[in-house]
Structure 1
Amino acid sequence: MRSLAVIASALSLIAVATPSIAASACRDVKGKFVKCPEAAAPKATRCKAANGRFAKCGTPGAKPIK
């Protein structure tokens, strides 16, 4: 009886751990597993001064460029 309780508790731990492992996978529209897209790094904003040269953003007269 004790071994049955140990087996049941082990199976319940495995059942609880499985959804957390599968949660990191990505799915497409049809529900199939696909490779997760890489998170794109945000582009750094660049600024130009009034004379047309690159300058640090935040300096007087510097405007962000696209």
Structure 2
Amino acid sequence: MIVRPRPTFLQLFFVMRGSVVPRILPQILGFALYSGSSLSSRASSISISASSASRLSGWWA
């Protein structure tokens, strides 16, 4: 009979064999980069001043 030590929670959480994570990780990273660049370009186009305070109230909507 083969007896193996019991894996810890972290070992079970980070196991990659049989997981779909390696297949979808490039898509997740691609969307994260796209959304980050979109947010940074949106944030850089908004000037923060007293005259534009009314525009800032709903820039995320």
- Name the TM tier (shorter chain): 0.3 to 0.5
Larger radius of gyration: 1
Query: TM-score of the superposition, structure 2-length normalised?
Result: 0.40
Query: TM-score of the superposition, structure 1-length normalised?
Result: 0.38
Task: For CA contacts below 8 A with separation 6 or more, give which structure has more relative contact order.
Answer: 1
Bigger share in strand: 1
